[in-house]
Structure 1
Amino acid sequence: MIDKLHKRYLMIRILVLTLLLAPPMQSLAHETEDHYDRVHLSASAQAQVANDTVITMLYAQEEGRDSVQLANLVNKRVENAIEHVKQYDAIKVQTSGYSTTPVYHNNKITGWRIRQSIRLESQDMALVSDVLGQLQQTLALQGMNFTVSPELKNSTDDQLIEQALQVFERRAQKVTQQLGRKNYKIVDIDISTAADHYPRRNYDVAAMATKVAAPAIEGGEQTLRVTVSGKIEME
């Protein structure tokens, strides 16, 4: 008799646990309903934008046996360059790297190479061209690249987002009408922005004692894109 009661008690406990762990039928039905008549859509907009910012890298480099003397020469040339650039409010200047590396010959250190770089950034490309021509009397031009300023990118992205959302809305309405439905609602939506890589020019020019002709600067353009993707549910 006790064994029968014990078995019955165990069966009741198992049944209760099963009912507690099982998802409610209403929740299952609601979940199925949430995924009913949903359509994924995407839309995009893009624009060609002129690169309005130039970024240049220049460096001073010396090589020889006396590392202290070399460091003084490099530091002085960089300091003079920075002081010169600071005359122009339209150009941002900052140091960008300093390195001291040994020079080997027959697996022995025979000297040192010391190098320091500076970075210039400006939206006045004509001014940068003139300043580079002056700085290349003592520094070497390492690289130049172009990009869109944050202000221009943000304003362009805002316009493209509006355009892409309008296209998304038209497509959602079109799909809803074509499938014979009266209305739709947006279940989720994602907005992403992207841009082509800006053009880059690399140089390896030895520092010169005579005046160097100012380099030609043409920023070119890049494409900014906005993509809207999302899911609608038709009613």
Structure 2
Amino acid sequence: MNARIRVLGFLLASSALSAVQADERAPLTYDRIDLSSEAQGEVQNDILVAMLSSEMEGPKAAALAVEVNKTIAKAVDRIKQVPEIKVQTLGYQTSPVYQKERISGWRVKQSIRLESLDAGKLGGLLGELQQQLHLESVGYETSPQKRKEAEDGLIKEALGAFRQRAELVTRELGRSRYRIVALRVDTGGPPVRPMALGMRAMAVEAAAPVPIEAGTQKVEVNVSGTVELQLN
């Protein structure tokens, strides 16, 4: 019995010592405060993006495909004559047309995406392309380089605000200094998508440029982190 008691006492003492050592190794987390700051701004949209398509219906899908391909190929050749405009062919769709629950024909559609930093040239070309293609949407986006430049400036602003708050809290709580133990920087803001055109915009005459304003896009930077206050 005594031997069992001695063994049990040894185990309890070992556990207590291990707990103390673990506490000594664990980092101290008192006097830590969570802070956050943000900075907002606007960046000018600079890339005009347009979506166009060729769509036909008829009794034979193969014949429709030939005509749609010809129309798209002709449009792509024309677009490539303007080096400032990028063009990309998108999804090709063939779907049945029903009448009284029976297939009465077929619908074939293919789309292309155009983008350019030169809004004047793309707007003028869109007026020309509408003679053969359906203009589905047009709108502005911000180029990655322009957005990055705006975000870099806002990061500096948000970090400056974070430091000011940390210094304010340190002074008000009677401490001499602080150190940052964790920091997170998030950039955001909704992307601007090409907008669907209304009836008024769709009625633009063939040779006329498409009227649209570039506008701006909201950019946000959020900084959050934890500071530890120190006495000395």
TM-score by length of 1: 0.87
What is the alpha-carbon root mean square deviation over aligned residues? 2.5
Q: In the TM superposition, what is the alpha-carbon distance from 1:42 to its structure 2 partner?
A: 0.8
23 and 153 in structure 1: CA distance in 2 versus 1, 3 angstrom threshold: farther
Query: Which of 135, 148, 151 pairs up with 1:154?
Result: 148
The CA distance in 2 between the partners of 1:197 and 1:36, in whole Å, is 41
The CA distance in 2 between the partners of 1:159 and 1:185, in whole Å, is 24
Q: In the TM superposition, what is the alpha-carbon distance from 1:155 to its structure 2 partner?
A: 1.1
Structure 1 residue aligned with 2:182 = 188
Query: Which of 115, 124, 128 pairs up with 1:130?
Result: 124
The CA distance in 2 between the partners of 1:23 and 1:162, in whole Å, is 45
The CA distance in 2 between the partners of 1:145 and 1:88, in whole Å, is 19
The CA distance in 2 between the partners of 1:28 and 1:61, in whole Å, is 72
Structure 2 residue aligned with 1:104 = 98
Kept after mapping to 1: 8 A contact 2:151/2:221: yes
Amino acid corresponding to residue 40 of structure 1 in structure 2? D
1:234 equivalent in alignment to 2:229 = yes
Kept after mapping to 1: 8 A contact 2:124/2:207: no
Kept after mapping to 2: 8 A contact 1:190/1:228: yes
Kept after mapping to 1: 8 A contact 2:155/2:221: yes
The CA distance in 1 between the partners of 2:167 and 2:81, in whole Å, is 58
1:95 equivalent in alignment to 2:89 = yes
The CA distance in 1 between the partners of 2:57 and 2:16, in whole Å, is 76
Kept after mapping to 2: 8 A contact 1:142/1:204: no
Amino acid corresponding to residue 74 of structure 2 in structure 1? N
Structure 2 residue aligned with 1:28 = 23
1:86 equivalent in alignment to 2:80 = yes
Kept after mapping to 2: 8 A contact 1:101/1:112: yes
Q: In the TM superposition, what is the alpha-carbon distance from 1:22 to its structure 2 partner?
A: 7.3
Kept after mapping to 2: 8 A contact 1:57/1:117: yes
SS in 2 for 1:24: helix
17 and 213 in structure 1: CA distance in 2 versus 1, 3 angstrom threshold: farther
Query: Which of 28, 34, 38 pairs up with 1:44?
Result: 38
After superposition, give the CA deviation of every residue in 1:108-131 in whole Å (9 maximum; x if it has no partner).
111000000000111111111001
SS in 2 for 1:34: coil
The CA distance in 1 between the partners of 2:17 and 2:58, in whole Å, is 80
Kept after mapping to 2: 8 A contact 1:141/1:204: no
Kept after mapping to 2: 8 A contact 1:193/1:226: yes
| Aligned residues between the structures | 227
Structure 1 residue aligned with 2:48 = 54
Amino acid corresponding to residue 217 of structure 2 in structure 1? Q
The CA distance in 2 between the partners of 1:40 and 1:75, in whole Å, is 60
Kept after mapping to 1: 8 A contact 2:140/2:214: yes
Query: Which of 185, 189, 196 pairs up with 1:202?
Result: 196
Work out the percentage of aligned pairs sharing the same amino acid: 37
Give structure 1 regions of 4+ aligned residues with deviation exceeding 4 angstroms. 20-23
Q: In the TM superposition, what is the alpha-carbon distance from 1:27 to its structure 2 partner?
A: 3.1
TM-score by length of 2: 0.88
Structure 2 residue aligned with 1:113 = 107
The CA distance in 2 between the partners of 1:11 and 1:106, in whole Å, is 92
21 and 72 in structure 1: CA distance in 2 versus 1, 3 angstrom threshold: farther
SS in 2 for 1:215: coil
SS in 1 for 2:35: strand
22 and 101 in structure 1: CA distance in 2 versus 1, 3 angstrom threshold: farther
SS in 2 for 1:218: coil
After superposition, give the CA deviation of every residue in 1:70-106 in whole Å (9 maximum; x if it has no partner).
0000000001111111112211111111100001111
Structure 2 residue aligned with 1:74 = 68
Q: In the TM superposition, what is the alpha-carbon distance from 1:140 to its structure 2 partner?
A: 0.4
